[in-house]
Structure 1
Amino acid sequence: MTAADARVKVHGLFIDGTEVPAASDEHLDVLNPATGELLARISHATDADVDRAVRSARAAFEAKEWASMSNRTRARLINKLADVFEAHLEEMFTLETANNGRSVNETRAQISRLPDFFRYNAGLAIARRDAVIPVDGNYLNYTVRTPVGVVGNSTPFNHPLMIMVKSLAPTLASGCTTVVKPSEYTPLTTLRLAQLFVEAGLPPGAFNVVTGLGPTTGKALAEHRGIAKWVLTGGTEAGRITGSLAGRNFAHQTLELGGKTPVLVFDDFDVDQAVNYAAFGAFIGAGQTCICGSRQIVHERVYDEFVEKLAAKAKTIRIGNPVDPSVQLGPVVSRRQQNRVLEYIRIGLEEDQARLVAGGRVPADPALANGFFVEPTVFADVTPRMRIFQEEVFGPFVSVSRFATEDEAIAMANDSDFGLAGAIRTSNVTRAHRVAARLKCGIVWVNDHHRLDPASPWGGVKDSGIGRECGTESFDQHFETKSVMIRLDDAPFDWYRDTASQRRLN
């Protein structure tokens, strides 16, 4: 270890409102993906640490301070958390950019929205109503919703704060508590937010953070019997593994998994605008998004022009250290992810024999040699049978395919195991609605991409997962529903004396 390494901060776990050491002295390095330099070290939480965190969350959930809090008091607290978050945005921009390598302009634009997720869910906490249900007979039937309990949440490296907040806001606003396991690559902003929230008045134990690897710490959290709801954003295989573990305990689940977003470009739409949206959808976040517009399916009449212009656009994108505001594309998160993207470039060239029209290399700039960079890459003449059409790459990588008819375009779009998002480029409003209805996915953008809102449900179908984040759908998934049936008739009842005269059993 160098003297510089010795000065790097070592983070403990965040349990019961304070930073605590893990049971093991094993630590994991957190690197700056733009430079390869050591940013911090984190604890590798053991099964015992996870158990301690879940018990803390359970105790906080059952504590009178939290369990008896009125909806309006809880909403005021959640709004206060939003204010505290907003007051520390500049700190979060800097820390997240250093940790995950996303350009600071992208980070600023994304994280600035996040306080509103808390405010929206604070509003839901005040507005929530339970139902009175008309039923047959002289009865009053109403429902009572109660928070499910402790929510286990495993978050990914690509949007550390945003994806965590999509779950955290409804979790706390509903009256649940949580244990979060952030990606081992990008844990720093999650640890910092937990500290800020407790300082702002969130009861200790309501928001705990355990750091470590997925197969160890993540597995221990997913299978813990104290978890009432399991939330994961990650790869489809991770969803299958952790979903089956949580399923053994019949935990509620929200799984937002892989994607291979099709973008249908019709010939009535401006090609230059289609290219601009394609570059945004494919290369934002260095392509490390589950809704990356990685399959551009383009009408044959504008196909050649589209390919030429998208290749030219990709070559103009400025690559560099993401802390520089002039930089438009930062690195992928790790050397492992860089190698994965480079391997798919090899597959596209050698196995699929698609036509590479832009990128396909590590940048030649020696100043970037220690970082995990890949040029924006565009393959043309891609067919549905090719691996680069079917498999998620998770990098700055896009394929372009040709179609002749609307039915052919829809068939190509739906020819995927994934179903998170889709997009349509057309000036024909009738076509837009018609095609959107036929796409097999959970989210559709028409003449836009990558837009979300706290009020708009977010999630997929098929191998892209189950459940929804955001909107009333997410908030409502944090409750158990109890039905209360009250008989309003005082007439004597004795089934076994008056069996013949009874007209109703159920």
Structure 2
Amino acid sequence: MTHTIAASAGPLGADSGDTRNIIDPSSGAVIATVAEQDAEGVDAAVARARAAFESGPWPALVRSARARLLLRVADAIEANSERLYTLEARNNGRPITETRAQLSRVPEWFRYNAGLLAAQRLAVLPGDGPYLTYQQRLPLGVCGIITPFNHPLLILARSLSAALANGNTVVVKPSEMTPLTTLALAEILAEAGVPDGVVNVVTGGRPAGERLTRHPDVAKITLTGGTEAGRAAAIATASRFARVTAELGGKTPVVMFDDVDPAVAAEGAAFAAFVAAGQSCVAGSRFLVQRNVYDEFVIALSARAQAIRVGDPSLPQTQMGPLISARQRDKVLDLIGTGTAEGARLAAGGGIPELPEELRGGFFLQPTVLADASMAMTVAREEIFGPVAVVIPFDAEADAVAMANDNEYGLGAGVWTTDIARAHRVASNIVAGMVWVNDHHRLEPSLPWGGVKESGIGKDAGTESFDDFSWIKSIVVRTAADHVDWYGDADQRRLN
């Protein structure tokens, strides 16, 4: 069943009259039609957000009341959880079991940032002389949040909860392919009591995102996407000295040492590589495996890949769904072909799976293992963003660290070992914003999420993100009873 979502269905910007079909990637069928908004729509949404910031109740609301409202939002999201799970799984093709596990954590971010707000202490600064110096934190104003297709609601919640806790108003531009849970969340926020104009959604493609990053009234942009999109946003915001947080691409190395049972390592590798069909910036994509367990690991990982149940994401038994689009699937297939042409061995997968007729219009791909690769190969260097594990042997610890760091990205990494000293040593030496040891893709609201090098700038989540949605004002109060006559006859020794 297809339905149309128009501007009247939520706090959207101006409607250009154009529409976009939203596709179910498991079937290729149209499941919704939304407004295709352009720069004019962004301008209207920003104007609405600015009016809500300058004259609405939200920024002036006392912090305890704002914290309570965020807690109500968390409760409302939980109350609508089944609806959100189903909608997101259908919109981006992630299996319902994965989607439920991920989205069940969304309320945590609203509760965490409500807690930071309620517990926030502001500094009183020491100084010489009869002065009291203290700080205030104030909201930035209108903040823009640009989210990707792979984890629409979770990634939005990370930034949105921190922005709202600090009293900002927001314009959200979700991926043009997966706007449905963002629109649903906007309705939930309004029903929970978030004032009109505080959260605004723009449904559109690249022109809408570019206008949002360049808009002179937007004080901060948070973007999750490709490296080039992040670079463009950083340039646009720098021109007006606005803030930017960008979580961008990755080519996550996962180092497997020979003290780990290869079968156990393969279990962890399968999760790292194939969860969300590999469509994650921190997906394990380069598995660096110590040579004397290499063959056993490849055999075990290939068996794991071949056993994964690919199919209808709405069914609880499905373990991997489709890629987001035919274009993305074709890109991944091309890279697999490039890998084998450059000398990698296809150990598992590599093609389109056999599926029931009702799923043959979907964008499915087999979980794939490319073994016997080298760091010189394209598949070992470029982000694939699909269910492809590239396996490369190494000999010594120093080799593994050098290979892990031999890439332009620095978002996530993994280390598998039972040697605790080596675990800490290697984790410290890998250049990445996040390193998991004997696990992968674990996250918490308190964990600052973000990378280095070409993987972006700034952090989502944690106190780092919370604080970056406000600006600091320092206030200096002279407390002495006498006055200062700088140009008088008295000896002046004050420091300016």
- Alignment pair present for 1:124 and 2:122: no
Query: What residue is the counterpart of 1:468 in the other structure?
Result: 459
Secondary structure at the residue paired with 2:234? Answer: helix
Report matched runs for 1:1-16 at 5 Å: 8-13=2-7
2:293 to 264, 287, 302: 302
CA contact (8 A) 2:434 2:451 kept: yes
SS in 2 for 1:231: strand
Query: Which residue type is aligned with residue 141 of structure 2?
Result: G
Name 1:167's counterpart in structure 2.
159
| Secondary structure, aligned partner of 2:58 | helix
Find 1:356's aligned residue among 335, 338, 346: 346
Which residue of the partner structure matches residue 115 of structure 1?
107
Deviations 1:46-83 (A, max 9, x none): 22211111111111122352122111111110000000
Q: Is the contact between residue 13 and residue 209 of structure 1 (CA under 8 Å) also seen in structure 2?
A: no
Structure 2 counterpart SS, 1:410: helix
Query: Which residue of the other structure, out of 375, 383, 399, is the alignment partner of 1:392?
Result: 383
Q: C-alpha displacement at 1:492, in angstroms?
A: 3.4
Shift of 1:131: 0.1
Aligned counterparts of 1:21 and 1:444: Cα–Cα separation in 2: 39
Query: Post-superposition shift, 1:312?
Result: 1.1
- Matched with 2:185 is 193
Is residue 2:49 matched to residue 1:49? no
1:14-413 aligned within 5 A:
18=10, 22-214=14-206, 216-350=207-341, 352-365=342-355, 367=357, 368-413=359-404
Local SS of the residue matching 1:65: coil
Question: Which stretch of the first structure deviates more once superposed, 137-146 or 219-228?
Answer: 137-146
Residue identity opposite 1:240 in structure 2: R
Question: Counterpart amino acid of 2:448?
Answer: P
How far residue 28 of structure 1 moved from its aligned partner, in angstroms, is: 1.1
Whether contact under 8 Å (1:253, 1:467) holds in the other structure is: yes
For structure 1, the 5+ residue unaligned runs are 1-6
Q: What CA deviation, in whole Å up to 9, does each residue of 1:457-484 have, x standing for no partner?
A: 1110011101111111111111100111
SS at match of 1:402: strand
**Post-superposition shift, 1:382?**
1.3
Instruction: Check the 8 A contact 2:143/2:163 in 1, yes or no.
Output: yes
Cα distance between partner residues in 1 of 2:219 and 2:171: 11
Q: For residue 434 of structure 2, what is the amino acid of its counterpart? A: I
1:485-496 equivalences under 5 Å are 485-496=476-487
How far apart in 2 are the matches of 1:65 and 1:504? 42
> Number of aligned pairs?
495
Asked if 2 retains the 8 angstrom alpha-carbon contact of 1:12 and 1:21, the reply is: no
Tell me, which stretches of 5 or more residues in structure 2 are unaligned? none
2:444 counterpart residue number: 453
CA contact (8 A) 1:22 1:43 kept: no
Task: Quote the residue 1:3 is aligned against.
Answer: none
The question of whether the paired residues in 2 share the 8 Å contact of 1:228 and 1:252 is answered with yes
What SS class does the counterpart of residue 228 from structure 1 fall into? strand
> CA separation in 1, counterparts of 2:155 and 2:433?
17
CA distance in 2, matches of 1:159, 1:20: 21
Quote the offset at 1:349 in angstroms.
1.2
Paired AA for residue 465 in structure 2:
S
Q: Tell me: CA distance 1:19–1:132, structure 2 relative to 1, closer, same or farther (3 Å).
A: closer
Q: Describe the superposition over 1:137-173 as per-residue Cα deviations: whole angstroms up to 9, x where unpaired.
A: 3221111110111110110000011111111111111
8 Å CA contact retained: 2:16, 2:40: no
Distance 1:98 1:67 in 2: 36
Secondary structure of 1:275's match?
helix
Aligned partners of 2:131 and 2:13: how far apart in 1?
56
One-letter code aligned to 1:133: L
Change (3 A) 1:291 1:365: same
Post-superposition offset of 1:20 = 5.7
Does the aligned pair in 2 maintain the 1:13–1:211 contact within 8 Å? no
1:129 aligns to what SS in structure 2? Answer: coil
One-letter amino acid matched to 1:271: P
Q: Provide the rounded CA distance (Å) in 2 between the counterparts of 1:144 and 1:115.
A: 28
Rounded Cα–Cα distance in structure 1 between residues aligned with 2:220 and 2:350: 41
Q: Distance in 2 between the 1:477 and 1:353 partners?
A: 46
> Equivalents in 1 of 2:83, 2:345: separation in Å?
43
Partner of 1:484: 475
C-alpha displacement of 1:502? 2.6
Q: Is contact 1:81–1:118 with CA below 8 Å preserved after alignment?
A: yes
SS at match of 1:140: strand
Aligned-partner Cα distance in 2 for 1:211–1:295: 35
Q: Could you tell me whether the CA contact under 8 Å between 1:426 and 1:432 is conserved in 2? A: yes
Alpha-carbon contact 2:309-2:318 (below 8 Å) kept? yes
Partner letter of residue 433 of structure 1?
A: H
1:21-54 CA distances to partner (integer Å, 9 max, x unpaired)?
8442211111000000001111111222111111
Q: Distance in 2 between matches of 1:146 and 1:428?
A: 46
Distance, in Å, in 2 between the alignment partners of 1:24 and 1:69 is 34
Q: Distance in 2 between matches of 1:173 and 1:482?
A: 18
SS in 2 for 1:294: strand
Deviation, 1:270, is 1.9
SS of corresponding position for 1:67 = coil
Between the aligned partners of 1:247 and 1:459, the Cα distance in structure 2 is 19
Provide the rounded CA distance (Å) in 2 between the counterparts of 1:400 and 1:220: 41
State the Cα distance separating 1:366 from its structure 2 match: 5.1
1:74-120 CA-partner distances (Å, limit 9, x unpaired): 11100000000000000001100100000000000000111111111
